[in-house]
Amino acid sequence: MRILYFILSAILTTNSVAAHEMTPTYPNLVPSYVDGLFSAKLTMFNARKDVDYYEIGVFDTAWEPVPFASSSKILKVPYGSKKTFEVFVRREDRSRAVFICSLSKLRTNESAQAIISSKICSRTDGELP
């Protein structure tokens, strides 16, 4: 019986779903309240128990980093919660800032041997198909 409980708990542990979501797919960079800066608002949802922090990054089409500002580049998004954040880029970087990404930050003491890092990128120059 104890073995059965062990097997069941192992299956449930390894198969527990953990999700990372970020919307919208195509955010708009619009003039912000600060002169010379454009901003976009995005929302992230964390359903990964093994992740509490996400790193925000802005990139051009060649995946080169683009300077940006936000309330924090590392966002704390506790398990099961949603967070809306704003990304600011300079007017001169507006056309270069194509991808806005969130990358899960993994703990070094994670128990699983092969760990999955997740990254979702929205696109500022995208259009609805």
Partner 1 sequence: MGKKSIIAASILLASAASAEETVIEGNVQSKCIINTDVAGVYGNPSPDKLSTLGTDGGVKPVIRFDVAIANYYLARIITPTSFSTAPSLPDVVNWTGSVATGEVSDAGMSAYDAAKVTYDATSEFDLTIAGSTWFDVTSTAEYGYGRAFPGGTYRAVVQAECIAQ
- Interface with partner 1 by CB under 8 A: which residues? 14-15, 17-26, 48, 50, 99, 106, 108, 110, 112-123, 126, 128-129
Our CB check for partner 1 shows the closer of 24 and 36 to be 24
Our CB check for partner 1 shows the closer of 37 and 47 to be 47
7 sits in which H/E element: helix 2-14
What is the nearest approach in angstroms of partner 1 to the Cβ of residue 36?
A: 26
Our CB check for partner 1 shows the closer of 88 and 101 to be 101
What is the nearest approach in angstroms of partner 1 to the Cβ of residue 35?
A: 29
Cis peptide before 27 (omega within 30 of 0): no
Angstrom distances, CA of residue 20 to CA of 23, 24, 45, 54, 61: 11, 13, 6, 10, 23
- For residue 32, which amino acid is it? S
- For residue 113, which amino acid is it? Q
What is the nearest approach in angstroms of partner 1 to the Cβ of residue 125?
A: 10
